[in-house]
Structure 1
Amino acid sequence: MLIDAQSLLHRIADRTILDLREFRVTQGEHALLLGPSGSGKTTLINILTGLMTPTSGTVLIDGRPMTGVSPAARDALRRDRIGLVFQTLRLVSALTVRQNLSLAQNLGPSASDPAEINTLIERVGLSHRADARPRDLSQGESQRAAIARALCTRPALLVADEPTSALDDTNAQSMIDLLLSSAAASGSTLLIATHDHRIRARFAHAVELQPLAVAA
């Protein structure tokens, strides 16, 4: 089981943000996490990736604990097993596309591999922009660079937060094509958090969260 989350509860003051009995994803089973704003999607993503500690509950990533361990252990597990495509992308502005990937690779668990970086840049269609800095990229190019960066350590789990919400229908489907094909080529399992129901039909496994109407 790649993701095994049980009895997750997260509260802020007297407000319950997330209350989820179970969330499980097997290796190779690409999954969609749906829900409107306020449903706890981002909270769940942050808990699964170790960026946030739940009030209670457990998370295992590829059999290793993400909860109940030190921040250093969570960071190490995230580096080893997870690639993240943030909604805000978070490319390093002073570095080129190639340098962003090289930095991510150097911070990961494996040795630097320039050939792998070139392969990823080509795969996402950015060979002609490899030496451009983020400020010189279009939004679509920046998203592609962020996907390549997330995949450069060959993560078991690729997580993307709202990758299509700002795109028109054609570009939204193209982005999902790119994410699915890139994940497959890297042997990664894809988890997308979104409120975009246009892509629902592309995923056999989908979980829909609803806002919690009553504060506990």
Structure 2
Amino acid sequence: MLIDVRGLIHRIGERTILDLPAFQIQRGEHALLLGPSGSGKTTLINILTGLVTPTGGEVLVDGRPIARLSPAERDDLRRRTIGLVFQTLRLVSALTVRENLALAQRLALGRVDAAQIERLIGRVGLAHRANALPRQLSQGEGQRAAIARALCARPALVVADEPTSALDDANAQAMVDLLLDSAEATGATLLIATHDSRIKGRFGRTLELQPLMAAA
């Protein structure tokens, strides 16, 4: 089992924003995380990836209790095990698209596979923008670059927060194809948080969160 959530609670002040008694994802399984704004999707992603420590409960990622790891251990787990695609562009601003992918590979794997980087850049339709800096990319191009960066180190778990929100229909389907094909090739697990109804039919399993109105 790659993700095992047990009795997860998260509060901000007196308000409970996430209450998830149990949730598991097996290795190689793919799931969509659904729910309206305010339902806790991004909070859950941040907890699963060790960016936020929950108020209560336990989350095991690859058998490790992520909330009990040190900051350095969390960083190491993210580099080696998790590919992250955020809603906001988090590419290194001083590096080109190609250099951003090379840096991600080097940090995770200790080496650079230039051929794989070129294949991924081509798959996301950015071969003509490989030498562009993040500030020179459109929103959609930046999102595609972020997806390529998340995949370039062949992580066991790919977690994406609204990865197709800035893409047109053709590119949205192409990015889902890329995520699914890459996961199939490497045995990776996908967890994608989305509002995008265009991609719901591509995944067999969903977890739907609802906003919690009552205070804790």
Quote the residue 1:160 is aligned against: 160
Gaps of 5+ in 2: none
Q: Which shifted more, 191-200 or 38-47?
A: 191-200
Quote the Cα distance in structure 1 between the aligned partners of 2:178 and 2:196.
17
For 2:6 and 2:194, the matched residues in 1 are separated by 21
Give the SS at the match of 1:76: helix
Q: Which runs of 5+ in 1 are unaligned?
A: none
TM-score, normalised with respect to structure 2: 0.92
Q: Secondary structure at the match of 1:107?
A: helix
Length-normalised TM-score, structure 1: 0.92
Aligned counterpart, 2:91: 91
Verify the 8 A CA contact 1:58 1:68 in the aligned structure 2: no
Shift of 1:73: 1.3
Q: Which moved more, 1:193-202 or 1:2-11?
A: 193-202
User: How far does the alpha carbon of each residue in 1:140-184 deviate from its partner, in whole angstroms, 9 at most, with x for none?
Assistant: 222221111111211000111012234444443333223222333
Conservation of the 8 A alpha-carbon contact between 2:100 and 2:149: yes
Residue type matched to 1:203 in 2?
A: F
Judged with a 3 Å threshold, the aligned counterparts in structure 2 of structure 1 residues 23 and 110 are, in CA distance, closer, same or farther, namely farther
2:149 aligned partner: 149
Instruction: Please give the alpha-carbon distance, in whole angstroms, between the structure 2 residues aligned to 1:74 and 1:197.
Output: 33
The answer to whether the Cα contact below 8 Å between 2:139 and 2:166 also exists between their aligned partners in 1 is: no
| Corresponding residue number in structure 1 for 2:76 | 76
Q: Which deviates the most, 60-69 or 174-183?
A: 174-183
Identity across the alignment (%):
72
Contact 1:161–1:192 (Cα < 8 Å) also in 2? yes
Q: Whole-Å Cα distance in 1 between the matches of residues 125 and 166 of structure 2?
A: 20
Letter aligned with residue 163 of structure 2 = P
Partner of 2:137: 137
Counterpart of 1:194, as a letter, is T
Count of aligned pairs:
216
SS at 2:68 equivalent: coil
Q: Which residue of 1 aligns with 2:115?
A: 115
The residue number in structure 1 matching 2:13 is 13
> 1:98, CA displacement in angstroms?
0.7
CA root-mean-square deviation: 1.7
